[in-house]
Amino acid sequence: MDTDFLQIPLIDHHCHAIVGPNRQADTEALLRVTSEAPHGYPVEDLLERAIWPAVLTYVSRYSGHVVASYEELGPVLQDVDYATYCKALFHDARFEQLFIDTGFAPAGAPSLGEIGRLTGAKTRPILRLESVAEAVFKESSSFSQWWESVQFKVGQARANGYVGAKSIAAYRSGLALHGVSYADAERAFAVWKSSDSARLEDERLLCFLVWECAPILAKQSLPLQFHTGYGDPDTDLRLGNPLHLRDFVETFTPQGLAVVLLHTYPYHREAGYMASVYDGVYFDTSLIVPLGLTSARRVVSEALELAPYSRFLFASDAHTRPELFAIAADLFKDALEHHLQDPMLSRFSGAGTRERWAQLVCHDNARKLYLETSP
């Protein structure tokens, strides 16, 4: 293959906001985003993970100062011109567009427009369904009022600039989604309303929300992303296996809904299987790439054992710190290039075909799925 993988443009179809200049020297934030461990996890153990030397390498390269330890990091980050530093990281990794999940943003995060200026990449928002439901809950006195407001906001998503939607049902009740009657959802809402919590956790109401919003999204040609697999301890990993989505997929992809399985590790093989047998299913291996530094080549190759290259997308799931975006791009491109140079692929496919597959995965699939569809 003649392709220079480092020069391939990237569309990051799932990521989050970065911090602004007011937190450019927050070294603990940089350390913490190298792991999904909770805040109380020991710093000394985080420093012993394989990804940490990669972080120091990137900071050294783009700051112009050799940083050999955690203690040296703060003064160096404080001294950089943050806008120049960010833009260089994103430019060199060839980030073209960032599709940003608006359901989570770190403290001190700038607007999407400012993130675009900092990174040099075009930013587009992804609508998180649970965040809509929780925001409307605060101002709704009845179930009917709540549901009408949710339907309206989700129904206006495409018109308001969103290019997709996302559910974190895996974090709340698991992915075994099913239909729930209006009456049962109304009873669940009453229980929620009588509680002291603004967090949507009831399994019946979560199922109702996602199940009933699916046709609304399909009508707008908006893909629906699902958190699956790997995440922080708030999720029960056993319930995040994308195979639990079988009924949902079989119900709604024939209606035109595109289902996108995010993260997927350690279920990347299951996700690849689903993408290989169900029309309308797409997936990525974000988060484990970059956090699982030494696993990147293996995971990407395993994910593509069965799946078409037209169903696999690049994503970082990076947030808070710009360094993680750059490392994700580096590791992913290395892993994809290594996979496409497999002797068996070379034996049966030409260089042009494999170069086309690389372009599909890095940007063309995301552009077609999120931007080139119309209601």
Distance CA 198, CA 133 (A): 10
Mean of the pLDDT values across residues 273-279? 98
**What is the 3 state secondary structure string of 31-61?**
HHCCCCCCCCCCHHHHCCCCHHHHHHHHHHH
Confidence of residue 138 (pLDDT cuts 50, 70, 90): confident
Q: pLDDT digits over 264-275, tens only?
A: 999 999 999 999
Q: Is 255 helix (H, G, I), strand (E, B) or coil?
A: helix
Question: Quick check: 3 pLDDT over 90?
Answer: no
Q: Is residue 205 within 8 Å of 146, Cβ to Cβ?
A: no
CATH top-level class of 5-24+80-371: alpha beta
CA torsion, ordered 73, 76, 80, 86, to nearest 10 deg: -20
**375 has a pLDDT exceeding 60:** no
**CA distance from start to end of the chain:** 38
In this predicted structure, what is the pLDDT of residue 12?
98
Whether the pLDDT of residue 196 is over 60: the answer is yes
Question: What is the Cα–Cα distance from 305 to 299, expressed in whole angstroms?
Answer: 10
The answer to whether 229 and 239 are in contact (CB under 8 A) is no
pLDDT > 90: what percent of the chain? 95
Give the pLDDT mean for 52-72: 97
Question: Are 321 and 25 within 8 A, CB to CB?
Answer: no
CA-nearest of 284, 257, 280 to 268 is 284
Distances (CA, A) of 193 to 130, 137, 138, 246: 16, 8, 9, 31
The 10 Å Cβ neighbour count of residue 368 is 12
Q: How many helices (H) and strands (E) does the chain have?
A: 19, 8
Tens of pLDDT along 201-229? 999 999 999 999 999 999 999 999 999 99
Q: Is the pLDDT reported for residue 1 higher than 70?
A: no
Q: Indicate yes or no: pTM above 0.95.
A: yes
Tokens read off for 136: 């409307």
Secondary structure class of 66 (helix, strand, coil):
coil
pLDDT of residue 15: 98
Average pLDDT, the chain: 96
**What per-residue confidence (pLDDT) applies to 237?**
94
pLDDT band at 5 (very low <50, low <70, confident <90, very high): confident
Half-sphere exposure of 179 (CA within 13 A, CB side): 8
Side chain identity at residue 264, one-letter code: T
Is residue 374 pLDDT above 70, yes or no?
no
The string of pLDDT tens digits covering residues 84-117 is 999 999 999 999 999 999 999 999 899 999 999 9
